[in-house]
Amino acid sequence: MRVDEVRLSSFRNYTSERVSFSPRINFVVGKNGEGKTNLLEAIFFLATTKSHRQALEKDMAKIGENHFRVSARIISIGVDRNLDLRYDAVLRKKFAGVSGFPVTKLQDFIGLLNVVMFSPEDLSLVKGSPSGRRRFLDVLLCQVDRVYLRLLQQYTLVLRQRNEALRLIARGSLKLSDLKPWDQQFAFLAHRITMRRLQATERLSASFSTLTDEINRGKETLSVAYTSSLGATNGSLSINSLDVDSVVNELERRQRDCLRRGNSSIGPHRDDLRFLINGLPAEAYASQGQQRTAVLGLKLAELKYMQEVTGDCPVLLLDDVLSELDKSRRQMLVQALKSDVQAIITGTDERDLSLQGVEPSQVMRVERGKVVV
Ligand SMILES: Nc1ncnc2c1ncn2[C@@H]1O[C@H](COP(=O)(O)OP(=O)(O)OP(=O)(O)O)[C@@H](O)[C@H]1O
Ligand SMILES: [Mg+2]
Protein backbone atom coordinates (compact mmCIF):
# COMPACT_ATOMS: atom_id res chain seq x y z
CA MET A 1 0.00 0.00 0.00
CA ARG A 2 1.21 3.48 -0.64
CA VAL A 3 0.23 7.10 -0.42
CA ASP A 4 0.62 8.77 -3.74
CA GLU A 5 -0.45 12.29 -2.92
CA VAL A 6 -1.76 14.10 0.15
CA ARG A 7 -3.76 17.32 0.19
CA LEU A 8 -4.09 19.38 3.35
CA SER A 9 -6.45 22.23 3.88
CA SER A 10 -6.47 24.36 7.06
CA PHE A 11 -4.74 21.49 8.85
CA ARG A 12 -2.44 22.65 11.68
CA ASN A 13 0.08 25.09 10.17
CA TYR A 14 -0.80 24.09 6.59
CA THR A 15 -3.13 26.45 4.72
CA SER A 16 -3.50 24.60 1.47
CA GLU A 17 -0.86 22.15 0.39
CA ARG A 18 -0.44 19.26 -2.00
CA VAL A 19 2.39 16.80 -1.42
CA SER A 20 3.43 13.96 -3.74
CA PHE A 21 5.29 10.98 -2.35
CA SER A 22 7.58 8.47 -3.95
CA PRO A 23 6.52 4.83 -3.64
CA ARG A 24 9.67 4.05 -1.67
CA ILE A 25 11.62 6.10 0.82
CA ASN A 26 10.66 9.70 1.38
CA PHE A 27 12.68 11.94 3.62
CA VAL A 28 11.06 15.10 4.96
CA VAL A 29 13.56 17.56 6.44
CA GLY A 30 12.83 20.75 8.27
CA LYS A 31 13.75 22.74 11.32
CA ASN A 32 11.84 22.40 14.57
CA GLY A 33 8.25 23.54 14.42
CA GLU A 34 7.98 23.79 10.62
CA GLY A 35 5.32 21.09 10.17
CA LYS A 36 7.00 17.68 9.79
CA THR A 37 5.02 15.90 12.48
CA ASN A 38 1.84 17.65 11.33
CA LEU A 39 2.24 16.08 7.90
CA LEU A 40 2.57 12.58 9.37
CA GLU A 41 -0.29 13.28 11.76
CA ALA A 42 -2.51 14.08 8.77
CA ILE A 43 -1.68 10.72 7.16
CA PHE A 44 -2.26 8.87 10.43
CA PHE A 45 -5.57 10.71 10.75
CA LEU A 46 -6.67 9.41 7.35
CA ALA A 47 -5.85 5.85 8.40
CA THR A 48 -7.45 5.91 11.85
CA THR A 49 -9.63 9.09 11.97
CA LYS A 50 -7.62 10.04 15.06
CA SER A 51 -4.44 11.94 15.86
CA HIS A 52 -1.45 9.82 16.90
CA ARG A 53 -0.70 12.48 19.51
CA GLN A 54 -4.22 12.08 20.84
CA ALA A 55 -4.97 15.66 19.93
CA LEU A 56 -8.52 16.92 19.76
CA GLU A 57 -9.89 17.62 16.29
CA LYS A 58 -10.60 21.23 17.13
CA ASP A 59 -6.90 21.70 17.84
CA MET A 60 -5.95 20.27 14.47
CA ALA A 61 -7.88 22.96 12.62
CA LYS A 62 -5.60 25.80 11.67
CA ILE A 63 -5.75 28.54 14.29
CA GLY A 64 -8.61 30.85 13.38
CA GLU A 65 -10.36 28.25 11.19
CA ASN A 66 -13.31 26.10 12.19
CA HIS A 67 -12.77 23.24 9.79
CA PHE A 68 -9.99 21.26 8.18
CA ARG A 69 -9.66 18.68 5.46
CA VAL A 70 -7.16 15.95 4.64
CA SER A 71 -7.34 13.94 1.42
CA ALA A 72 -5.05 11.42 -0.24
CA ARG A 73 -4.78 9.24 -3.26
CA ILE A 74 -3.79 5.80 -2.08
CA ILE A 75 -2.73 2.82 -4.08
CA SER A 76 -3.34 -0.61 -2.63
CA ILE A 77 -3.40 -4.04 -4.24
CA GLY A 78 -5.81 -3.88 -7.12
CA VAL A 79 -7.48 -0.56 -6.20
CA ASP A 80 -6.69 3.11 -6.22
CA ARG A 81 -8.81 5.24 -3.96
CA ASN A 82 -9.24 8.85 -3.02
CA LEU A 83 -9.71 9.15 0.71
CA ASP A 84 -11.17 12.32 2.08
CA LEU A 85 -11.75 13.24 5.70
CA ARG A 86 -12.84 16.60 6.95
CA TYR A 87 -13.80 18.03 10.30
CA ASP A 88 -16.33 20.70 11.00
CA ALA A 89 -15.74 22.35 14.38
CA VAL A 90 -19.15 24.05 14.36
CA LEU A 91 -21.01 20.77 13.92
CA ARG A 92 -18.25 18.95 15.87
CA LYS A 93 -18.38 16.20 13.31
CA LYS A 94 -16.12 14.36 10.89
CA PHE A 95 -17.19 13.65 7.33
CA ALA A 96 -15.55 10.96 5.27
CA GLY A 97 -15.61 10.18 1.60
CA VAL A 98 -14.08 7.55 -0.66
CA SER A 99 -13.49 8.32 -4.31
CA GLY A 100 -16.23 10.94 -4.29
CA PHE A 101 -18.82 8.89 -2.40
CA PRO A 102 -19.77 9.86 1.15
CA VAL A 103 -19.14 7.26 3.83
CA THR A 104 -21.88 7.50 6.41
CA LYS A 105 -20.22 5.35 9.07
CA LEU A 106 -16.70 6.37 10.01
CA GLN A 107 -15.96 2.78 11.00
CA ASP A 108 -16.20 1.86 7.32
CA PHE A 109 -13.47 4.37 6.57
CA ILE A 110 -10.97 3.26 9.21
CA GLY A 111 -8.34 0.91 7.85
CA LEU A 112 -8.74 1.71 4.16
CA LEU A 113 -5.27 3.11 4.58
CA ASN A 114 -2.91 1.16 6.84
CA VAL A 115 -0.02 2.83 8.60
CA VAL A 116 2.58 2.09 11.23
CA MET A 117 3.67 5.21 13.08
CA PHE A 118 6.85 5.40 15.08
CA SER A 119 7.48 8.66 16.90
CA PRO A 120 9.68 9.73 19.82
CA GLU A 121 6.70 9.49 22.22
CA ASP A 122 6.63 5.75 21.52
CA LEU A 123 9.97 5.36 23.25
CA SER A 124 8.10 5.61 26.54
CA LEU A 125 5.87 2.70 25.58
CA VAL A 126 7.91 0.21 27.63
CA LYS A 127 7.91 2.11 30.92
CA GLY A 128 4.75 4.13 30.41
CA SER A 129 1.26 3.26 31.56
CA PRO A 130 -0.57 0.14 30.31
CA SER A 131 -3.08 2.37 28.50
CA GLY A 132 -0.38 3.33 25.97
CA ARG A 133 0.33 -0.31 25.24
CA ARG A 134 -3.35 -1.17 24.98
CA ARG A 135 -3.70 1.72 22.57
CA PHE A 136 -0.88 0.26 20.48
CA LEU A 137 -2.85 -2.99 20.11
CA ASP A 138 -6.10 -1.16 19.42
CA VAL A 139 -4.60 1.07 16.73
CA LEU A 140 -3.10 -1.99 15.06
CA LEU A 141 -6.17 -4.21 15.27
CA CYS A 142 -8.72 -1.54 14.40
CA GLN A 143 -6.91 -0.90 11.13
CA VAL A 144 -6.93 -4.51 9.99
CA ASP A 145 -9.97 -6.04 11.69
CA ARG A 146 -13.41 -4.45 11.20
CA VAL A 147 -15.00 -6.88 13.64
CA TYR A 148 -12.50 -5.90 16.33
CA LEU A 149 -13.27 -2.23 15.77
CA ARG A 150 -17.01 -2.85 16.19
CA LEU A 151 -16.48 -5.03 19.27
CA LEU A 152 -14.32 -2.35 20.86
CA GLN A 153 -16.91 0.36 20.22
CA GLN A 154 -19.66 -1.81 21.71
CA TYR A 155 -17.46 -2.75 24.65
CA THR A 156 -16.68 0.88 25.46
CA LEU A 157 -20.40 1.60 25.53
CA VAL A 158 -21.34 -1.46 27.61
CA LEU A 159 -18.51 -0.80 30.05
CA ARG A 160 -19.77 2.73 30.61
CA GLN A 161 -23.35 1.52 31.07
CA ARG A 162 -22.33 -1.32 33.39
CA ASN A 163 -20.31 1.08 35.55
CA GLU A 164 -23.29 3.41 35.70
CA ALA A 165 -25.50 0.46 36.73
CA LEU A 166 -23.00 -0.48 39.46
CA ARG A 167 -23.19 3.01 40.89
CA LEU A 168 -26.99 3.05 40.75
CA ILE A 169 -27.16 -0.32 42.53
CA ALA A 170 -24.78 0.91 45.24
CA ARG A 171 -27.09 3.92 45.73
CA GLY A 172 -30.17 1.73 45.86
CA SER A 173 -31.72 3.05 42.62
CA LEU A 174 -31.39 -0.32 40.84
CA LYS A 175 -31.72 -3.92 41.98
CA LEU A 176 -28.73 -6.24 42.01
CA SER A 177 -30.49 -8.51 39.55
CA ASP A 178 -30.54 -5.62 37.03
CA LEU A 179 -26.82 -6.15 36.57
CA LYS A 180 -27.27 -9.56 34.95
CA PRO A 181 -28.01 -8.42 31.37
CA TRP A 182 -24.99 -6.10 31.48
CA ASP A 183 -22.78 -8.89 32.76
CA GLN A 184 -23.79 -11.16 29.89
CA GLN A 185 -23.04 -8.54 27.24
CA PHE A 186 -19.90 -7.41 28.99
CA ALA A 187 -18.57 -10.97 29.25
CA PHE A 188 -19.36 -11.74 25.62
CA LEU A 189 -17.56 -8.63 24.33
CA ALA A 190 -14.67 -8.84 26.81
CA HIS A 191 -14.08 -12.44 25.82
CA ARG A 192 -14.03 -11.77 22.09
CA ILE A 193 -11.76 -8.74 22.40
CA THR A 194 -9.37 -10.59 24.68
CA MET A 195 -9.20 -13.56 22.32
CA ARG A 196 -8.33 -11.31 19.40
CA ARG A 197 -5.69 -9.45 21.39
CA LEU A 198 -4.18 -12.70 22.62
CA GLN A 199 -4.01 -14.12 19.12
CA ALA A 200 -2.46 -10.93 17.75
CA THR A 201 0.10 -10.85 20.56
CA GLU A 202 1.09 -14.43 19.85
CA ARG A 203 1.92 -13.57 16.27
CA LEU A 204 3.54 -10.26 17.15
CA SER A 205 5.61 -11.92 19.81
CA ALA A 206 7.12 -14.44 17.41
CA SER A 207 8.45 -11.80 15.00
CA PHE A 208 9.32 -9.46 17.87
CA SER A 209 11.68 -12.07 19.30
CA THR A 210 13.31 -12.78 15.94
CA LEU A 211 13.81 -9.08 15.22
CA THR A 212 15.21 -8.17 18.62
CA ASP A 213 17.45 -11.27 18.78
CA GLU A 214 19.27 -9.93 15.75
CA ILE A 215 20.37 -6.90 17.77
CA ASN A 216 20.88 -8.61 21.08
CA ARG A 217 22.77 -11.58 19.67
CA GLY A 218 22.08 -13.84 22.63
CA LYS A 219 22.97 -11.21 25.25
CA GLU A 220 19.43 -11.19 26.56
CA THR A 221 16.01 -12.23 25.42
CA LEU A 222 13.25 -9.72 24.90
CA SER A 223 9.65 -10.82 24.67
CA VAL A 224 6.12 -9.43 24.76
CA ALA A 225 3.22 -11.05 26.56
CA TYR A 226 -0.43 -10.19 26.91
CA THR A 227 -1.67 -10.19 30.48
CA SER A 228 -5.40 -10.41 30.78
CA SER A 229 -7.35 -9.43 33.86
CA LEU A 230 -10.08 -11.94 33.02
CA GLY A 231 -8.33 -14.95 34.45
CA ALA A 232 -6.77 -12.85 37.13
CA THR A 233 -7.07 -15.26 40.04
CA ASN A 234 -3.85 -16.97 39.13
CA GLY A 235 -2.80 -14.68 36.33
CA SER A 236 -2.34 -17.59 33.97
CA LEU A 237 -4.81 -17.34 31.19
CA SER A 238 -4.41 -19.46 28.15
CA ILE A 239 -6.32 -19.04 24.94
CA ASN A 240 -7.86 -22.47 25.42
CA SER A 241 -9.14 -22.00 28.94
CA LEU A 242 -10.98 -18.73 28.40
CA ASP A 243 -14.70 -18.82 27.68
CA VAL A 244 -17.66 -16.49 28.21
CA ASP A 245 -18.97 -18.46 31.20
CA SER A 246 -15.69 -18.17 33.04
CA VAL A 247 -15.80 -14.40 32.49
CA VAL A 248 -19.36 -14.24 33.88
CA ASN A 249 -18.22 -16.27 36.91
CA GLU A 250 -15.28 -13.97 37.49
CA LEU A 251 -17.60 -10.93 37.28
CA GLU A 252 -19.87 -12.46 39.92
CA ARG A 253 -16.95 -13.32 42.14
CA ARG A 254 -15.83 -9.69 42.07
CA GLN A 255 -19.27 -8.15 42.27
CA ARG A 256 -18.96 -6.84 45.82
CA ASP A 257 -15.64 -5.19 45.03
CA CYS A 258 -16.97 -3.61 41.82
CA LEU A 259 -20.06 -2.28 43.61
CA ARG A 260 -17.88 -0.68 46.24
CA ARG A 261 -15.63 0.95 43.65
CA GLY A 262 -18.34 1.79 41.17
CA ASN A 263 -16.39 0.41 38.22
CA SER A 264 -15.48 -2.84 36.51
CA SER A 265 -12.21 -4.19 37.80
CA ILE A 266 -11.68 -6.75 35.04
CA GLY A 267 -11.89 -6.61 31.27
CA PRO A 268 -9.75 -5.62 28.29
CA HIS A 269 -9.66 -2.04 29.60
CA ARG A 270 -7.53 -3.36 32.48
CA ASP A 271 -5.17 -5.56 30.48
CA ASP A 272 -1.59 -5.02 29.46
CA LEU A 273 0.86 -5.88 26.74
CA ARG A 274 4.01 -6.32 28.75
CA PHE A 275 7.61 -6.35 27.69
CA LEU A 276 9.92 -8.82 29.35
CA ILE A 277 13.71 -9.01 29.50
CA ASN A 278 14.88 -12.55 30.23
CA GLY A 279 11.37 -13.14 31.53
CA LEU A 280 11.43 -10.20 33.96
CA PRO A 281 9.20 -7.12 33.64
CA ALA A 282 10.95 -4.58 31.42
CA GLU A 283 9.13 -1.62 32.98
CA ALA A 284 11.24 -2.16 36.07
CA TYR A 285 14.54 -3.13 34.48
CA ALA A 286 14.92 -1.89 30.92
CA SER A 287 17.79 0.45 30.10
CA GLN A 288 17.33 3.25 27.56
CA GLY A 289 18.92 1.14 24.87
CA GLN A 290 16.81 -1.90 25.68
CA GLN A 291 13.68 0.23 25.53
CA ARG A 292 14.67 1.51 22.10
CA THR A 293 15.30 -2.01 20.86
CA ALA A 294 11.98 -3.16 22.29
CA VAL A 295 9.92 -0.38 20.73
CA LEU A 296 11.62 -0.62 17.37
CA GLY A 297 11.13 -4.39 17.45
CA LEU A 298 7.45 -3.93 18.27
CA LYS A 299 6.89 -1.46 15.45
CA LEU A 300 8.59 -3.68 12.92
CA ALA A 301 6.61 -6.65 14.21
CA GLU A 302 3.48 -4.54 13.75
CA LEU A 303 4.46 -3.84 10.16
CA LYS A 304 4.96 -7.52 9.47
CA TYR A 305 1.72 -8.49 11.19
CA MET A 306 -0.33 -6.04 9.16
CA GLN A 307 1.34 -7.16 5.97
CA GLU A 308 0.57 -10.81 6.72
CA VAL A 309 -3.03 -10.16 7.68
CA THR A 310 -3.94 -7.83 4.82
CA GLY A 311 -1.53 -9.10 2.17
CA ASP A 312 -0.38 -5.53 1.62
CA CYS A 313 2.44 -3.68 3.34
CA PRO A 314 1.33 -0.67 5.44
CA VAL A 315 2.94 2.73 5.02
CA LEU A 316 5.72 3.28 7.56
CA LEU A 317 5.73 6.71 9.17
CA LEU A 318 8.92 7.47 11.08
CA ASP A 319 8.79 10.75 12.91
CA ASP A 320 12.20 12.03 13.87
CA VAL A 321 13.36 8.71 15.29
CA LEU A 322 16.53 8.15 13.27
CA SER A 323 18.49 10.51 15.46
CA GLU A 324 17.37 8.46 18.45
CA LEU A 325 18.80 5.21 17.11
CA ASP A 326 22.38 4.05 17.18
CA LYS A 327 24.14 2.07 14.48
CA SER A 328 22.92 -1.41 15.34
CA ARG A 329 19.31 -0.33 15.72
CA ARG A 330 19.46 1.62 12.49
CA GLN A 331 20.66 -1.54 10.86
CA MET A 332 17.53 -3.26 12.10
CA LEU A 333 15.45 -0.55 10.47
CA VAL A 334 17.44 -0.69 7.27
CA GLN A 335 16.58 -4.37 6.88
CA ALA A 336 12.89 -3.45 7.03
CA LEU A 337 13.34 -0.56 4.58
CA LYS A 338 15.01 -2.83 2.06
CA SER A 339 11.70 -4.60 1.47
CA ASP A 340 9.08 -3.02 -0.71
CA VAL A 341 7.68 -0.74 2.00
CA GLN A 342 6.81 2.90 1.45
CA ALA A 343 8.33 4.98 4.22
CA ILE A 344 7.88 8.64 5.07
CA ILE A 345 10.70 9.65 7.38
CA THR A 346 11.13 13.03 9.02
CA GLY A 347 14.23 14.57 10.53
CA THR A 348 15.87 17.89 11.22
CA ASP A 349 19.15 16.99 9.59
CA GLU A 350 19.64 15.57 6.12
CA ARG A 351 22.65 13.66 7.42
CA ASP A 352 20.23 11.72 9.64
CA LEU A 353 19.40 9.65 6.64
CA SER A 354 22.78 8.09 6.37
CA LEU A 355 21.17 4.69 6.48
CA GLN A 356 23.75 2.20 5.38
CA GLY A 357 22.66 0.93 2.03
CA VAL A 358 19.31 2.68 1.78
CA GLU A 359 18.97 5.86 -0.21
CA PRO A 360 15.87 8.06 -0.05
CA SER A 361 14.11 8.18 -3.38
CA GLN A 362 12.77 11.62 -2.57
CA VAL A 363 13.86 14.40 -0.23
CA MET A 364 11.44 17.18 0.67
CA ARG A 365 11.90 20.28 2.71
CA VAL A 366 9.21 21.70 5.01
CA GLU A 367 9.18 25.36 5.89
CA ARG A 368 6.34 26.97 7.79
CA GLY A 369 3.68 24.66 6.45
CA LYS A 370 4.98 24.60 2.86
CA VAL A 371 6.60 21.57 1.29
CA VAL A 372 9.18 21.90 -1.45
CA VAL A 373 10.87 19.03 -3.26
N1 LIG B 1 -3.90 24.25 14.93
C2 LIG B 1 -2.77 24.85 14.52
N3 LIG B 1 -2.84 25.96 13.72
C4 LIG B 1 -1.71 26.56 13.30
N5 LIG B 1 -0.49 26.15 13.60
C6 LIG B 1 -0.37 25.08 14.39
C7 LIG B 1 -1.50 24.36 14.87
N8 LIG B 1 -1.08 23.33 15.61
C9 LIG B 1 0.26 23.39 15.59
N10 LIG B 1 0.68 24.43 14.86
C11 LIG B 1 2.07 24.82 14.58
O12 LIG B 1 2.70 23.76 13.92
C13 LIG B 1 4.07 23.80 14.27
C14 LIG B 1 4.51 22.45 14.79
O15 LIG B 1 4.48 21.59 13.76
P16 LIG B 1 5.13 20.17 13.92
O17 LIG B 1 4.79 19.57 15.22
O18 LIG B 1 4.76 19.43 12.70
O19 LIG B 1 6.66 20.56 13.93
P20 LIG B 1 7.90 19.67 13.52
O21 LIG B 1 8.38 20.13 12.19
O22 LIG B 1 7.56 18.26 13.66
O23 LIG B 1 8.92 20.13 14.63
P24 LIG B 1 9.92 19.27 15.55
O25 LIG B 1 11.16 19.07 14.73
O26 LIG B 1 10.18 20.17 16.69
O27 LIG B 1 9.24 18.03 15.93
C28 LIG B 1 4.25 24.80 15.36
O29 LIG B 1 4.82 25.94 14.79
C30 LIG B 1 2.86 25.06 15.84
O31 LIG B 1 2.69 26.33 16.31
MG1 LIG C 1 8.00 16.86 15.09
Domain-wise residue ranges, the chain:
1-114+312-373
Alpha carbon distance 68, 364 (integer Å): 23
Model pLDDT, residue 366: 97
Model pLDDT, residue 235: 47
**Rounded to the nearest whole angstrom, what is the distance from the C-alpha of residue 244 to the centroid of ligand 1?**
47
Q: Are 295 and 208 in contact (CB under 8 A)?
A: no
Distant-in-sequence, close-in-space partners of 195: CB < 8 Å, separation ≥ 6: 239, 242
Q: Could you read off the pLDDT of 221-252 as tens digits, one per residue?
A: 999 999 998 875 444 455 567 889 989 988 99
What is the DSSP annotation of 296-327? HHHHHHHHHHHHHHHSSPPEEEEES-GGG--H
**Rounded to the nearest whole angstrom, what is the distance from the C-alpha of residue 205 to the centroid of ligand 2?**
29
Ligand 1 binding pocket mutation candidate from 38, 51, 56, 67 (most atoms within 8 A of CB):
38
Model pLDDT, residue 242: 82
Alpha carbon distance 24, 19 (integer Å): 15
Give me the residues of the chain with pLDDT under 50, please.
233-236
Helices 288-310 + 327-337 axis angle, to 10: 10
Q: Which residue CA neighbors atom 3 of ligand 1 most closely?
A: 62
Report which residue type is found at 354.
S
pTM score, two decimals? 0.95
Is the C-beta atom of 369 inside 6 A of ligand 1? no
Is the C-beta atom of 30 inside 6 A of ligand 1? yes
Is the C-beta atom of 62 inside 6 A of ligand 1? yes
Is the C-beta atom of 293 inside 6 A of ligand 1? no
Architecture of domain 1-114+312-373: 3-Layer(aba) Sandwich (3.40)
Strand partners, 2: 75
Q: Are 113 and 315 in contact (CB under 8 A)?
A: yes
Percent of the chain clearing pLDDT 70 (strictly above): 97
Q: Is 88 helix (H, G, I), strand (E, B) or coil?
A: strand
Q: In the sheet where 315-319 sits, what is the strand order?
A: 115-118, 315-319, 343-347, 25-29, 362-367, 370-372
Q: Where would I find the H helices in 145-224?
A: 146-171, 180-216
Other C-beta atoms closer than 10 Å to the C-beta of 99 total 11
Model pLDDT, residue 234: 45
Is the C-beta atom of 320 inside 6 A of ligand 1? yes
Alpha carbon distance 41, 344 (integer Å): 12
Which H or E run contains 292? helix 288-310
Alpha carbon distance 273, 286 (integer Å): 15
Model pLDDT, residue 324: 84
Is the C-beta atom of 59 inside 6 A of ligand 1? yes
Other C-beta atoms closer than 10 Å to the C-beta of 100 total 7
